[in-house]
């Protein structure tokens, strides 16, 4: 890859970048999980991480795999449910101590 086409991390940390791409390709490749499951997990993680670029990219990829808008929407709602539950219960001891 020409140096102009390399991403910042490929230019500045080439060994780590190579390792990351190997990891990426292994995870995105053929594994026990099917592509649909992986795509819905990826959408959920992107949403939970609040990354607009990642969310858009992963929704587009899921749609391209033939995953329905309803399935994607339900995965997002499941993510929202678990994320909100985390906010409510993650510091239960502190909440109970000061608010309970």
Work out the burial of residue 19: count CB atoms within 10 Å of its CB; fewer than 13 is exposed, 13-18 middle, 19 or more buried: exposed
Same domain, 61 and 78: yes
| Surface-to-core class of residue 40, CB atoms within 10 Å of its CB (0-12 exposed, 13-18 middle, 19+ buried) | buried
CATH number at residue 57: 1.20.1290.10
Q: Residue 96 pLDDT > 90, yes or no?
A: yes
**Is residue 3 over pLDDT 80?**
no
49 plus 79 within the same structural domain:
yes
Instruction: Please tell me the total count of domains within the chain.
Output: 2
pLDDT at 18: 98
**Smallest Cα–Cα separation from 55: which of 64, 46, 67?**
46
Instruction: Say yes or no: 18 and 7 in one domain.
Output: yes
Assess whether 80 and 66 both reside in one domain.
yes
Q: Do 40 and 81 have their domain in common?
A: yes
Give per-residue pLDDT as tens, 12-42.
Answer: 999 999 999 999 999 999 999 999 999 999 9
**Both structure tokens of 1:** 């890859």
Task: Give CA–CA dist 57/84, Å, rounded.
Answer: 23
pTM beyond cutoff 0.85: no
What domain range includes position 58? Answer: 34-100
């Amino acid at each position: 890859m020409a140096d102009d086409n390399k991403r910042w991390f490929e230019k500045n940390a080439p060994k780590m970048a190579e390792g990351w791409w190997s990891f990426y390709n292994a995870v995105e490749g053929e594994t026990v999980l099917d592509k649909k499951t992986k795509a819905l997990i990826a959408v959920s993680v992107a949403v939970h991480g609040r990354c607009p670029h990642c969310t858009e990219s992963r929704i587009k990829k899921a749609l391209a795999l033939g995953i329905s808008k309803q399935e994607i929407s339900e995965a997002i709602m499941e993510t929202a449910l678990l994320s909100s539950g985390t906010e409510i219960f993650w510091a239960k001891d502190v909440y109970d101590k000061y608010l309970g």
